[in-house]
Amino acid sequence: MFWKSTYNEFIKIAAKPRSYIGLGAITLLIGIVLFALKMDGLTYISFITAPFEQSLSFEGNLLNGNTMAFIILQMLIIHIPLLVALVTGDLVSGEAAMGTIRLLLTKPISRSSVLFSKYLAGCAYTFIIIVWLAVLALGVSKVIFGTGDLMVLNSDGLVILQQTDVLWRFVSGFAVAFLALVTVATLSLTFSCFSENSIGPIVSTMAVIILFTIIGTLDVPIFDRIRPLLFTTHMAAWRSFFEDPLPIKEIVNSLVVLVVHCVVLLAIAVYKFKHKDILS
Amino acid sequence: MPDNPEKIIEVKHLAKNFGKFVAVEDVSFDVFRGDVFGFLGPNGAGKSTTIRTLLSLIKPSKGDIKLFGKHLGENRNYILRRIGSIVEKPDFYKYLTAEQNLKIFARISGATVSNSQIHEMIEFVGLKGREKDKLSGFSHGMKQRLGIAQALIHDPDLIILDEPTTGLDPQGIIDIRNLILQLKNERNKTVLLSSHILSEIELIANRMVIINKGKSLVQGNVIDLLNARELLVTIQVDSTEKAIQILNNSRMNLVIDSYDANILQLQISQESIPAVNKLLCENGIQVFSIEGKRKLEDYFLKLTHV
């Protein structure tokens, strides 16, 4: 019954027009970024290389697909949570708003199975979003700009990664980005269990992300203790895969924090959904 | 009905509070196999809350619910597999077609439902030719028909219909009424029917419970309950003034309910009608017609306006 319910959830997500907003927005945004960089990318790259030009000489194709993918990932990963929450925040509350939850929960399937079905479908949707992002950011960029070494500017300085050493880093980076987005999906699903309309969970999810991000970036000692515990602090963990050497301990720590968030939020969602009186 | 009919639903002292608000205070009733059971009560009486509790949409605060002889709390999935229901409005996924909606709910109904069964059911409820249309273009009546289809698709033993005729046109109401009778007579289903249209219950239910302010007031066989009290008898005469005088001077136990120039309404037992007729005729009153009725509406209003 669980798999039949999950299949139902896939059909619902696939049939909802709002599910395509995310894919459309990513396509449009990446299209605009690639077009702009194709037209005037060297100026953009010079912002990165300028501070080092007195001590280093740069050769080869600096404006390549790998660099484009990194730039795009850095730009969009902050905004994609909204596109994910647009669908996952609607999974339970959308049924309540439509009234279909009455029919759904009078069927012989446990409430926790219904919720896990929705969660699994939400994770699958998030996966599709990430894969689409990867295809456009990495695949299409390489077709347009060709390949080359990746130049990354981070807090420690400039890191240059050989093109043969980049693909596994992107795959790992996208995998961690997926986990970060699954955390966002879990948060919005949890809010969704408390709400009777779709807007509330989506807005609440974004409000939490904005609040936590502000707390994470404010250099105030009072937040030092809680900053490492906020999931938003670890949403940029994908970037660690583009450091040399790899900060394994930091990556593992980020993975643990994100997974713990998913488990705790899901437990709250299950408890609420199982004990909820359906009054809509 | 057999001597020991199987109880399909047993509700004992059901109560449900939402904080301080008492939605259901003390509701008890039994539904037997093959019943079309009327669940009657004014708005806010607690009908929908009770029905939602039977379907495990709401957890009761107190009381005991058994369906098919098993406790609802411990046997939820077993019980729900044997129930088909519509709770209030028939809401579906607007972005899916009628057929897709039916398949979605059939898939998790606990039964294996083939495509041909889906199409048969669509035809049964009169939606053939519209199965590929999205629900966004469906009228309320069409959604109600689809609601019936999803309630029946897995061939349940018990069908719970909460206000199934709300918002339907007269033809739609007749269609639903005929469908319920068809389910009882041809498919031997048990039906729990909540409705605010009292005449509907009177026409199709064989047993009923009346609830008000969260309490069940009376339950039993519809005909027995209606005949248990005095009838409201309407008599058309040539002069109500004379007729009232004659009736008041007689030693008959009757109550004059209302009157105008030619119409007189009395509350009397069915057995007293011939005697009243005889009395009026013997005293020179021309009696044009006598009509005795115990409408459920009167009975219902009397009970719920105490």
Does the distance separating the beta carbons of B91 and A103 come in below 8 Å?
yes
Q: Which residues of A touch B52 (CB under 8 A)?
A: 102, 277-279
Residue of B166, B121, B177 whose CA lies nearest to B141: B166
Other residues' Cβ atoms within 10 Å of the Cβ of residue A55: 6
| pLDDT recorded at residue B51 | 94
Q: Which residues of A touch B111 (CB under 8 A)?
A: none
| pLDDT recorded at residue A154 | 72
Per-residue CA distances from B269 to B219, B228, B236, B247, B302 (Å): 21, 9, 18, 15, 17
Quick check: helix, strand or coil at residue B233? strand
Does the distance separating the beta carbons of A106 and B87 come in below 8 Å?
yes
User: Amino acid identity, residue B109?
Assistant: S
More confident of the two residues A108 and B170: A108
Residue identified by tokens 């790998």 is A66
CB pairs under 8 A between A and B: 81
pLDDT, tens only, B283-293: 898 999 988 77
Provide the 8-state DSSP code for B134: B
Provide the 8-state DSSP code for A137: I
pLDDT mean over A137-157 = 83
Bridge-based pairing of strands B83-86 and B7-18 is: unpaired
Quick check: helix, strand or coil at residue B275? helix
Interface test with A, best of B21, B104, B112 (most A CBs within 10 A): B104
| pLDDT recorded at residue B8 | 93
Report how far residue B83's alpha carbon sits from residue B191's, in angstroms, rounded to the nearest whole number: 10
pLDDT, tens only, A164-186: 888 999 999 999 999 999 999 99
Contact B233, B43 (CB under 8 A): no
| pLDDT recorded at residue A73 | 85
Quick check: helix, strand or coil at residue B62? strand
Q: Delimit the domains of chain B by residue range.
A: 7-226, 229-304
pLDDT tier at B248 (50, 70, 90 boundaries)? Answer: confident
Contact B86, B145 (CB under 8 A): no
What are the structure tokens assigned to B143, written together?
């959604």
- Has residue B13 got a pLDDT over 90? yes
Nearest CA in chain A to B81: A108
Tell me the HSE value of B47 on the side-chain side, using a 13 A CA sphere: 24
| pLDDT recorded at residue B217 | 85
Report how far residue A64's alpha carbon sits from residue A74's, in angstroms, rounded to the nearest whole number: 16
Interface test with B, best of A5, A102, A110 (most B CBs within 10 A): A102
Sign of CA dihedral A263, A265, A268, A272: negative
Report how far residue B36's alpha carbon sits from residue B45's, in angstroms, rounded to the nearest whole number: 20
Of A239-248, B125-134, B221-230, the poorest mean pLDDT is in B221-230
**Overall pTM > 0.90:** no
Nearest CA in chain B to A108: B77
pLDDT, tens only, B93-106: 999 999 999 999 99
Whether A16 has its CB under 8 Å from any CB of chain B: the answer is yes
Report how far residue A148's alpha carbon sits from residue A164's, in angstroms, rounded to the nearest whole number: 9
Residue percentage of chain B with pLDDT more than 70: 94
| pLDDT recorded at residue B3 | 61
* Cα angle, residue B133 at apex, residues B131 and B138 outer, rounded to 5°: 100
pLDDT mean over B250-271 = 80
Give the closest of B57, B77, B91 to A110, CB-based. Answer: B77
Whether A106 has its CB under 8 Å from any CB of chain B: the answer is yes
ipTM, interface predicted TM-score of the complex: 0.82
pLDDT, tens only, A238-279: 888 888 888 899 999 999 999 999 999 999 999 999 999 998
Quick check: helix, strand or coil at residue A186? helix
Report how far residue B235's alpha carbon sits from residue B129's, in angstroms, rounded to the nearest whole number: 52
- Has residue B2 got a pLDDT over 60? no
pLDDT tier at B180 (50, 70, 90 boundaries)? Answer: confident
List the B255-259 sheet strands across, edge first: B255-259, B263-268, B231-237, B287-293
pLDDT, tens only, A181-224: 999 999 999 999 999 888 999 999 999 999 998 888 888 888 88
Residue of A115, A130, A111 whose CA lies nearest to A186: A115
Asked if the domains at B7-226 and B229-304 fall in one CATH topology, the answer is no
Nearest CA in chain A to B74: A110
| pLDDT recorded at residue B95 | 92
Q: Which residues of B touch A105 (CB under 8 A)?
A: 55-57
Does the distance separating the beta carbons of B108 and A5 come in below 8 Å?
yes
| pLDDT recorded at residue A52 | 67
* Range picked from B30-39, B192-201, B253-262 for highest mean pLDDT: B30-39
| pLDDT recorded at residue B296 | 63
Contact A160, A178 (CB under 8 A): no
Interface test with A, best of B67, B74, B91 (most A CBs within 10 A): B91
Bond preceding residue A245 cis, omega within 30 of 0: yes
pLDDT, tens only, A37-81: 888 877 777 776 666 666 666 666 678 888 888 888 887 777 888
Homologous superfamily in CATH for domain B229-304: Metallocarboxypeptidase-like (3.30.70.340)
Q: What stretches of B92-239 show up as alpha helix (H) in DSSP?
A: 98-107, 115-124, 140-152, 170-187, 198-204, 222-227
- Has residue A232 got a pLDDT over 60? yes
What are the structure tokens assigned to A41, written together?
């990318």
Query: Distance (Å) from the C-alpha of residue A112 to the closest C-alpha of chain B?
Result: 13
Provide the 8-state DSSP code for B5: P
Given this structure, which CATH class describes domain B7-226?
A: alpha beta
Of A113-127, B55-69, B171-185, the poorest mean pLDDT is in B171-185
Q: Delimit the domains of chain A by residue range.
A: 2-274
User: Amino acid identity, residue A27?
Assistant: T
- Has residue B225 got a pLDDT over 80? no
